[in-house]
Amino acid sequence: SNEPNSLVSDACVSYATLESINSEIRPAIQYLTNHVDFFTYYRLDLYGRECPFWSDDAGFCANRACAVELTDENDIPESWRSSELGKLEGPKASQPSPEVRKEEPSPFKGELGEDTAESCVFEPAEGDKRDYCVPEDEGNGNNCVYVSLLDNPERFTGYAGQSANNVWKAVYQENCFNTQAQAQAQKQSTNSQPFGAFGAGMPKAPVAADPNAAADLKNVMDRRKHEVVQKNLISPPPEEQCLEKRVFYKVVSGMHASISMHLCYDFFNQTTGEWGPNLQCYKSRLHNFPDRIQNMYFNYAILLRAISKLRKNLPQYTFCAGDKRTNEFTRKKLAALTDSIASHPSVFDESVMFRDENAAVLKEDFRTRFRNVSRLMDCVGCDKCRLWGKLQTSGYGTAMKILFEYDENEEGGNKNPVLRRTELVALVNTLGRLSNSLHAFTRFGAMIERERVIE
């Protein structure tokens, strides 16, 4: 098991320290995720995208617990509504060309002007090549919906079986990194992207940017479906694998562990009709798997580090254009969190990653693979699970973008990648999920201890 004072492997912090940081900052995280409007509404394409990997009509979950309640746009602060964005002739139409954009102040500085309805939803037309996820509210967002995260808590839904299993398997398959040579070859071939475990030896598979490409991709993926189901590739990478590959595995396994923790902690007891912790669920999925718990702590460490990197840039960020009071309030609350994280020694050192001579190829591969994990969320057959799966992959993607692409000392410059509103919302809520998971882990531990004493 994981000793409290031992270090979380590949991070520079102990379990005990992460727990004490969590006790300290949990109130600030809970305040942000429960009481600050900016962070409680998420905008995403929940229904509009087909699973690009296989067709899975049988996998849909019809339980009531799987359904998501949508939020009426009229209940959303005006400046965040897509109809408001419409006033700018649609965000795409008003998108400055990349050349023009270079001369403008960084959108992260929020200086698009007071008239801009939502400067925080500034969309790069094609996404940024430094993105680790497919942007959630891409384009003019016709398919996007607003969801209140408070009305749709992540908890037990009953979604399970082949469909859920296929998604997890495919997620772990992305961890089969190409050999360097394959990656190089794929990089050089135009119009093709390495496509995860599906990619090796496959016909060119353009990323699904337009409907035809999506159809091509789907055909290719349908042919591979058989293999996805057959091979059980859910095994951790061997220890000798390089740091970057280990980190990739830890991120997905830690996310999986955190999701399991939530569904066990907020479980539906069919006998009593009540929601609450289910110790048996915890025991069978997490208690006997210290590596899963360790990966969850690892994820908490990288999220802390990523959020603290934003600290110096927050003063310039516009959270809610046109509403100074809300803007200042949101900034102050987020700054309280980043300041208290920054008062501790750094818990993760991202500068040791992507350093050797193959770094550029490896990083591109890593990024592409994580984008594929984010696409896989469209294959999740339960709305509420899809919502939280999308939010959390976006949260980790944003964390990695900040860790690997963002210069925390670049205070006023244009070099840092844009952070969309959805990315910030996902980032903070993903930290919130992990914070709850650490808390639930302690509570389950106490329940097990009590059980032992009674015996």
Site stretch for ligand FAD (CB under 6 A), options 13-21, 30-38, 158-166, 442-450? 158-166
- Minimum distance of ligand FAD from residue 3's CB (angstroms): 20
The yes or no reply on residue 385 touching ligand FAD (CB under 6 A) is yes
Confirm if 287 and 335 have CB atoms less than 8 A apart: no
The yes or no reply on residue 259 touching ligand FAD (CB under 6 A) is yes
The yes or no reply on residue 46 touching ligand FAD (CB under 6 A) is no
Q: Which of residues 336-365 bind ligand FAD (CB under 6 A)?
A: none
- Please give the Cα distance from 407 to 348 (Å, whole number): 15
C-beta closer to ligand FAD: residue 82 or 157? 157
- Minimum distance of ligand FAD from residue 344's CB (angstroms): 26
Determine whether the annotation assigns residue 226 to a binding site: no
Distance of CA 371 to the CA centre of its chain: 10
Q: Is 82 helix (H, G, I), strand (E, B) or coil?
A: helix
Q: Using CB under 6 A, which of 15, 348, 388, 406 touches ligand FAD?
A: 388
Mark residue 216 as left, alpha or beta (left: phi above 0; alpha: psi -120 to 50; beta: remaining).
alpha
- Please give the Cα distance from 391 to 152 (Å, whole number): 12
Determine whether the annotation assigns residue 168 to a binding site: yes
Sequence letter at residue 365? D
The yes or no reply on residue 164 touching ligand FAD (CB under 6 A) is yes
The yes or no reply on residue 265 touching ligand FAD (CB under 6 A) is no
Tokens of 249: 């595995």
- Minimum distance of ligand FAD from residue 164's CB (angstroms): 3
Tokens of 6: 């031992």
Q: Using CB under 6 A, which of 159, 297, 317, 404 touches ligand FAD?
A: 159
Give the CA radius of gyration of the chain. Answer: 21
Q: Residue 17: in which H helix or E strand, if any?
A: helix 15-35
The yes or no reply on residue 2 touching ligand FAD (CB under 6 A) is no
- Please give the Cα distance from 185 to 200 (Å, whole number): 11
> Which residue is listed with tokens 């670049």?
410
C-beta closer to ligand FAD: residue 219 or 284? 284
Residue 221 CB-density burial (10 A; 0-12 exposed, 13-18 middle, 19+ buried): buried
Site stretch for ligand FAD (CB under 6 A), options 12-20, 69-77, 157-165, 184-192? 157-165
Q: Using CB under 6 A, which of 152, 173, 260, 318 touches ligand FAD?
A: 260
The distance in angstroms from the start CA to the end CA of the chain is 21
Confirm if 57 and 162 have CB atoms less than 8 A apart: no
- Please give the Cα distance from 136 to 114 (Å, whole number): 25
* CA-based nearest residue to 299, from 347, 340, 364, 262: 347
Q: Using CB under 6 A, which of 13, 167, 261, 362 touches ligand FAD?
A: 167
* CA-based nearest residue to 287, from 450, 452, 441: 441
Active site residue 382: yes
- Please give the Cα distance from 335 to 226 (Å, whole number): 49
Q: Using CB under 6 A, which of 2, 140, 165, 182 touches ligand FAD?
A: 165
Active site residue 264: no
The yes or no reply on residue 152 touching ligand FAD (CB under 6 A) is no
Tokens of 446: 């106490």
- Please give the Cα distance from 417 to 313 (Å, whole number): 12
Q: Which of residues 276-335 bind ligand FAD (CB under 6 A)?
A: 285, 292
Angle, alpha carbons 83-87-93 (nearest 5°): 105
The yes or no reply on residue 134 touching ligand FAD (CB under 6 A) is no
The yes or no reply on residue 9 touching ligand FAD (CB under 6 A) is no
Q: Using CB under 6 A, which of 123, 136, 154, 365 touches ligand FAD?
A: 154
- Please give the Cα distance from 416 to 266 (Å, whole number): 39
- Minimum distance of ligand FAD from residue 255's CB (angstroms): 8
Site string for ligand FAD, 25-44 (x = CB under 6 A): --------------------
- Please give the Cα distance from 419 to 422 (Å, whole number): 8
The yes or no reply on residue 406 touching ligand FAD (CB under 6 A) is no
Determine whether the annotation assigns residue 155 to a binding site: yes
The yes or no reply on residue 174 touching ligand FAD (CB under 6 A) is no
- Minimum distance of ligand FAD from residue 169's CB (angstroms): 8
Residues interacting with ligand FAD, by CB under 6 A? 154, 156-157, 159-160, 164-165, 167-168, 234, 253, 256-257, 259-260, 263, 285, 292, 377, 380, 384-385, 388-389
Residues belonging to the binding site for FAD are 155, 157, 168, 253, 256, 285
Residues forming the active site = 382, 385
